[in-house]
Amino acid sequence: MLDCFSLTGKVALVTGANTGLGQGIAIALAQAGAAICLVGRTEPSETLDAINRIGGKSHMILRDLACSDGVESVVNETHKALGALDILVNNAGIIQRNDALDFTAAEWDSVLDINLRSVFFLSQAAARYFVANNRSGKIINIASMLSFQGGVRVPSYTASKSAVLGLTKALANEWADKRINVNAIAPGYFTTNNTAALQADPQRSAEILMRIPAKRWGQPSDLGGAAVFLASSAADYVHGVTLPVDGGWLAR
């Protein structure tokens, strides 16, 4: 039974894996046996070192995903460097905080370009690769608690993550019969750069912890099991799901 969770021989492309959630996911996939291609704007040296320490195989692509032009080349380079592509994790994301009354077009566009536009076009490029090569594939998007809730002072982030939930369903509907599984993970409140402002606010941090039944913030490694499951053959009949990993936040 455990063999169905193995990723040995698989190749995973993970965006935004420098630190935080992407790093935790990339390391977990490598521990399960996958070779990892890391894509981002800066060198993910810490993640590469961690993968190397466990004897994993990795490759790095420096690319600004805010520009959808060239995402096909990311897929092609992954294939060239690691021999295939089996798993795509759309993790790269940013957040802008401002009152909705004062929110600017630049703040809106910068978030939607990374959090939604790049997710669609990289998924499209990966799916085209899977179909052209008659391969099955797994696509895992990173949603959010704000895929279900409104949030405060983060209108573009909420819009993007709500759209990721819907896009996950839409792509699953179109691609399930092509042996492509499209699912998402919705992390709760994790200790990452995106939540640094919340962690630094004693009142807000205390309010968040009061609502989490697990009574702690999530650590990036807490996402590993969900990512490995959705990337593995154990999830071959799972399509269009957004799986919360939230310490019980949504259950409260």
134-161 pLDDT, tens per residue? Answer: 999 999 999 999 999 999 999 999 999 9
Q: How many CB atoms lie within 10 A of CB 223?
A: 24
The tokens describing 131, both together, are 């179909």
> How far apart, in whole angstroms, are the C-alpha atoms of residue 111 and residue 120?
14
Specify the DSSP class assigned to residue 174.
H
Is 61 strand, coil or helix? strand
Percentage above 70 pLDDT, the chain: 99
Most distant pair of Cα atoms in the chain: their distance:
54
**CA proximity to 95, closest of 204, 238, 197, 221:** 197
pTM of the full predicted structure? 0.96
Token representation of residue 135: 């391969």
Residues in the chain: 252
Average pLDDT, the chain: 96
Quick one: pLDDT at residue 196?
A: 87
Tell me if 138 sits within 8 A of 86, measured CB to CB: yes
| Per-residue model confidence as pLDDT tens digits over 112-140 | 999 999 999 999 999 999 999 999 999 99
In the DSSP assignment, the letter for residue 202 is: H
Residue with tokens 């949504």, as numbered in its chain = 250
Residue ranges and CATH numbers for the domains of the chain are 2-251 (3.40.50.720)
pLDDT digits (tens, 9 = 90+) for 49-97: 999 999 999 999 999 998 767 788 999 999 999 999 999 999 999 999 9
Which residues are catalytically annotated?
157
Backbone φ, ψ for residue 185 (5° rounding): -115, 135
Half-sphere exposure of 12 (CA within 13 A, CB side): 36
Q: Where are the beta strands (DSSP E) in the chain?
A: 11-15, 35-40, 58-62, 87-90, 137-142, 180-187, 242-245
